[in-house]
Structure 1
Amino acid sequence: MYDIRFPNLGIVLKNIKDGFTIFGFEIKFYGVIIALGFVLAFLAISKEAKRTGQSEDTYLDFMLWLIIPAILGARLYYIIFSWDSYFQKGKSFGKTLFDLIDIRSGGLAIYGGVIAGAIVAIVFAKKRKMKFSVLADTVTMGLLIGQIMGRWGNFFNREAFGDYTNSLFAMAIPTDYYVGKGTLTGMINSGIITSEMANHMQVYDGMQWITVHPTFLYESVWNLILLIVIIIYRKHKKFDGEIFLMYLWGYGMGRVWIEGLRSDSLMIPFINMKVSQLLAAICVLACSVLIVKKRMDTVKKQAPAGKKEQ
């Protein structure tokens, strides 16, 4: 029930639970990983602030400003586009409230956290009389580290996966896991477990398994590659804000592709479109224009006066 397989790689991960209990209180790995992600993100941000001659204390203050709004933004984004899952006819107020605040079992959307974080950053930069573009560049690597870590919370929760595949990196999950959580019927009815998955069930250890794209892994690896590119390039940036724009562009490119594979995407009501895929595409287009424009402006500023007049 708690095993996870990568059958085409010959990998079997035994007894991968989604949490542990201390003194009768259940602690989810999802929450532990998010907390660890914040810590590692701050360490990276602090180091980048020191490298660029900024105060590390300033960014400690920023992280303290950021934590709660980022989590609230990520949760609110998820709830808005999963409204029917939380507000159901006949459901008690207490149960609805519990489900709304229960983030230990998942339900945080990265784009919601980024949007909330950007708003906090704008306010913080204005209050501290900093350039928002400098602050954004400084926190970008920490943001990516947090996202890389956060996707492994999805792994432990067996969520954020794609449709059926038999590719090299296909991941198999026993349906008994969802039966034990009481979520199997809901996942089938909502289309998260698709007909393709149902038609290609595999049997291991006497249990039925769905075989899916591990999109959490794809995104984590994509973000790791993007992080490496940014680490290499950041010393050669052409203008303040370029690193943050590169992040939005690179992450958006990957999300457009990866979101297209997912079966649990948040949808825009009435138009049947994946909201994060659309937002990612908008980010790619907007950042492409901004990067080109800012680079052209930088070249013009650096050109000799005589050349400007020609």
Structure 2
Amino acid sequence: MHQLASIPSPSQGVWHLGPVPVRAYAIMIILGIVAAVWLGERRWAAKGGTPGVIVDVAVWAVPFGLVGGRLYHVITDYQRYFGEDGDPVRALEIWKGGLGIWGAVALGAVGAVIGCRRRGISVLALGDAVAPGIALAQAIGRWGNYWNQELYGRPLDAFWALKIDENHRPMLDGGPALDPKYADIATYHPTFLYESLWCVGVAVLVIWADRRYKLTHGRAFALYVAAYTVGRGWIEALRIDDAHHILGLRLNDWTSIVLFLGAVAYLYLARNSTGPENVGIPAEAASGGAGSVPGTAGTEAETKGGAEGEPGASDTAADAAGPADDEPVSAAEDAQDADELEAGPEAAARAEDAPADVPEDAAGPEAETEPESKADSETEAEPEAAPETKADDQTKADDQTKAGGGTKAERAAEEDGTAELTRPAKGEPIPDGK
């Protein structure tokens, strides 16, 4: 079969840097792991988890996943390595391809559980975070099959068909002779490309569904498994490489069916799981920074300086602020505060300079500018005053008594030097003069 257009296969998949071989298959696996960790870190941070957790867990999950993927491949194709013409040493030649995704996910999950337990976080929450990253890693890793010219599909006569070199076409019973059915056929279904594109779509689907429906508690990971197995089922049906068949279906088809049903069942059973997830303590909270944990700022302010019995910041602020507006204050305290404010230090000084017959609280602004007291001025002005009635005299006497000037007898006694004997002590009631 000769095609006018097709996807060419690479001429080689390994390069040598001196004695060190650099294999394209290994590069694709490494790039897939990097992409999965990068996307997983971003999604884990969006969940509120501590940065760096995905890398720490990957230290456990990746080696376990590589071993699991190789074990799955060797077990399902054991005749290649432990059959009559098999070579068990070839089971260790992982660079030549042969990683089963189901073994990689299963044993990689064991490594992830160990990593999560060491960090004290939920493995389900982590699975949701890395699910689209795993799909993206598969999309990149499938290009390793392209470089190795392996795992292609049935013959195809189309412009997107993949051209396979003669030494990579299907062998008869494992080789070394070519299978006569495919000896003259050069183009086949590029199943690596189908699965790569499908995995990209699965990653996009999981990210969209997670944002739209808030998939938590392992549901995002279950959606990834369900969506991937659907694509793997029809892609597996196109492949012509050797595989075990059960009831007419390839082993990987049965595996996909079982995992699809399990994933759908989990999505249904966990449909109402919306509670909080254990994603660990954020880095700023673990360092004890102010405001990192809600409610800790006030506690720190109250306890500052409290180790040696000193008042905390909140106590000092409360003392400076004084009593609250709504704190009840007695009328006596109000009157005392008013007298103290009204008197002040200046009023006390003026009271000392004022004449003895004028009480301290009667000194006003006039006392500062007039050399004589108001009471003395009124005494000197009495002979010139107009005649007054008896009622007016009584009213004037009362006014003078209220103003603190005292009666005429008291003023006369004061002029004779006997004021100290007749003037009432401070705090005693003043005689009304009647």
TM-score tier by shorter-chain length is: 0.7 to 0.9
User: CA contact under 8 A between 1:34 and 1:153: conserved in structure 2?
Assistant: yes
Structure 2 counterpart of 1:33, from 28, 35, 59: 28
- State how far apart, in whole Å, the 2-side matches of 1:109 and 1:55 are: 31
Q: CA RMSD in A?
A: 2.8
- State how far apart, in whole Å, the 2-side matches of 1:167 and 1:50 are: 45
- The verdict on how the C-alpha distance between 1:238 and 1:90 changes in structure 2, with shifts beyond 3 A counting, is closer
- State how far apart, in whole Å, the 1-side matches of 2:79 and 2:9 are: 35
- Higher percent of residues as strand: 1
- State how far apart, in whole Å, the 2-side matches of 1:117 and 1:72 are: 8
1:248 offset after TM fit, Å? Answer: 0.2
Does structure 1 residue 261 correspond to structure 2 residue 238? yes
- State how far apart, in whole Å, the 1-side matches of 2:256 and 2:194 are: 16
- The verdict on how the C-alpha distance between 1:63 and 1:238 changes in structure 2, with shifts beyond 3 A counting, is closer
Structure 1 counterpart of 2:123, from 94, 115, 132: 132
- State how far apart, in whole Å, the 1-side matches of 2:268 and 2:235 are: 25
1:238-294 alpha-carbon deviations (Å, 9 max, x no partner) = 4321110110000000011111111125326x7664222111111111112221222
Aligned twin of 1:73: 68
Aligned twin of 1:222: 198
Q: How does 1:1-310 map to 2 (within 5 A)?
A: 7=3, 10-11=5-6, 13=8, 16-89=11-84, 96-97=88-89, 99-175=90-166, 177-178=167-168, 187-190=171-174, 196-198=181-183, 201=184, 209-236=185-212, 237-264=214-241, 266-267=243-244, 273-295=249-271, 297-298=272-273
Aligned residue type for 2:265:
V
Query: Structure 1: which 5+ residue stretches go unaligned?
Result: 179-183, 202-208, 302-310
- State how far apart, in whole Å, the 2-side matches of 1:26 and 1:6 are: 34
- State how far apart, in whole Å, the 2-side matches of 1:242 and 1:76 are: 27
- The verdict on how the C-alpha distance between 1:265 and 1:51 changes in structure 2, with shifts beyond 3 A counting, is farther
Aligned residue type for 2:182:
M
Aligned residue type for 1:172:
K
User: CA contact under 8 A between 2:65 and 2:103: conserved in structure 1?
Assistant: yes
User: CA contact under 8 A between 1:172 and 1:210: conserved in structure 2?
Assistant: yes
Please tell me whether Structure 1 or Structure 2 has the larger radius of gyration of its CA atoms. 2
TM-score, normalised to structure 1, is 0.79
User: CA contact under 8 A between 2:2 and 2:186: conserved in structure 1?
Assistant: no
Query: Structure 2: which 5+ residue stretches go unaligned?
Result: 276-434
Aligned residue type for 1:150:
G
1:14 offset after TM fit, Å? Answer: 7.3
User: CA contact under 8 A between 1:6 and 1:172: conserved in structure 2?
Assistant: no
**Partner secondary structure for residue 27 of structure 1:** strand
1:104 offset after TM fit, Å? Answer: 1.0
Aligned residue type for 1:252:
T
Aligned residue type for 1:76:
L
- Higher percent of residues as helix: 1
**Partner secondary structure for residue 197 of structure 1:** coil
User: CA contact under 8 A between 1:75 and 1:107: conserved in structure 2?
Assistant: yes
- State how far apart, in whole Å, the 2-side matches of 1:170 and 1:70 are: 31
- State how far apart, in whole Å, the 2-side matches of 1:6 and 1:56 are: 53
1:144 offset after TM fit, Å? Answer: 1.1
- State how far apart, in whole Å, the 2-side matches of 1:148 and 1:277 are: 19
1:54 offset after TM fit, Å? Answer: 0.8
User: CA contact under 8 A between 2:162 and 2:187: conserved in structure 1?
Assistant: yes
Aligned residue type for 1:121:
A
1:90 offset after TM fit, Å? Answer: 6.7
TM-score, normalised to structure 2, is 0.58
1:5-53 alpha-carbon deviations (Å, 9 max, x no partner) = 9946x34547531111110332211011111211121111111112221
- State how far apart, in whole Å, the 1-side matches of 2:125 and 2:252 are: 26
Q: How many residues align?
A: 273
**Partner secondary structure for residue 169 of structure 1:** coil
Report the identity percentage. Answer: 26
User: CA contact under 8 A between 1:20 and 1:27: conserved in structure 2?
Assistant: yes
- State how far apart, in whole Å, the 1-side matches of 2:11 and 2:142 are: 16
Aligned residue type for 2:173:
N
- The verdict on how the C-alpha distance between 1:120 and 1:272 changes in structure 2, with shifts beyond 3 A counting, is farther
- The verdict on how the C-alpha distance between 1:6 and 1:230 changes in structure 2, with shifts beyond 3 A counting, is farther
- State how far apart, in whole Å, the 1-side matches of 2:202 and 2:143 are: 17
- State how far apart, in whole Å, the 2-side matches of 1:6 and 1:291 are: 47
Query: Highest relative contact order (Cα 8 Å, sep 6+), 1 or 2?
Result: 1
User: CA contact under 8 A between 1:215 and 1:261: conserved in structure 2?
Assistant: yes
